[in-house]
Amino acid sequence: MRAIFLSASVPVVGTGSFYETADPFLIQAAVREFVSVALGRRLIVWGGHPAITPMVWTVCEDLGVSFANAVVLYQSKFFNDMFPEENKRFGNVVYVNAVDGNREQSLIRMRKDMLSRNDLEAAVFIGGMKGVLDEYDLFKQLHPNATVLTVPAAGGAARQLAEQLGMGGRDLQEVDFTKIFHLGLKVAPNEERQTLQ
């Protein structure tokens, strides 16, 4: 199954100015619509941000898709004490060793492992902080010809990224997330899902 990388988080105060444009409701809506469009049709790969993992789990349950076959969650062992409860529900978590108690180096190691996958055909960027920008740079370095889809209306780093990539006007405000994902990722609305058996 072809794979799509999801880079998303909800910006918080004290982590730069990303929160100033962020709309947590729209971030949640965009993540939910992305997962609803792609789940069971493409392998979803993401780094387990504690605000995003529960959203992915909820859609898996709602759609009845076998998440063991439909998603791959990457986590750095640096955050062992902070994993969301939902991690335990995914049978396909890739735990990447920490780098000697160094948060930044541990994140770099996890991102390199995650984004070095050769099945990634696209990446989606929603909300987020500096990590979204870092993941975009690494993704483009490793997959220069892959599809990149930003969701600027939800704000955060993804909006900044969209502006850097030349998006403007109405495109920055588009909130028909379902349409964005079906068209941008070439996932047909009637494409069959791999469901629970």
Measured CA to CA, the distance from residue 174 to residue 179 in angstroms comes to 10
Please tell me the predicted confidence (pLDDT) of residue 116. Answer: 97
pLDDT at 167: 79
Residue 85 lies in a domain: yes
Q: What is the model's pLDDT at position 87?
A: 64
CATH code of the domain covering residue 142: 3.40.50.450
pLDDT band at 88; cut points 50, 70, 90: low
> How would residue 155 be classed by pLDDT, with cut points 50, 70 and 90?
very high
194 within a domain of the structure (yes/no): no
In a domain, 119, yes or no: yes
pLDDT tens readout for residues 10-27? 998 877 789 898 999 999
Residue 93 is predicted with a pLDDT of 84
Contact 174, 153 (CB under 8 A): yes
- Per-residue model confidence (pLDDT) at position 77: 86
Is 192 part of a structural domain of the chain?
A: no
SS (H, E, C) the chain: CCEEEEEEECCCCCCCCHHHCCCHHHHHHHHHHHHHHHECCEEEEEECCCCCHHHHHHHHHHHCECHHHHEEEEEEHHHHHHCCHHHHHCCCEEEECCCCCCHHHHHHHHHHHHHCCCCEEEEEEEECCHHHHHHHHHHHHHCCCCEEEEEHHHCHHHHHHHHHCCCCHHHHHCCCHHHHHHHHHCCCCCCCCCECC
Q: Is residue 196 domain-resident? A: no
pLDDT value of position 169: 67
Q: What is the pTM of this model?
A: 0.92
Q: Which domain holds residue 37?
A: 3-182
Whether residue 52 is contained in a domain is answered as: yes
Determine the pLDDT at residue 195. Answer: 64
Contact between 152 and 163 under an 8 Å Cβ cutoff? The reply is yes
Cβ-based neighbours of 183, under 8 Å, separated by 6 or more: none
Count of domains observed in the chain = 1
Predicted confidence at residue 67, as pLDDT, reads: 74
> pLDDT by residue (tens digit) across 50-62?
788 888 888 888 8
197, pLDDT greater than 80? no
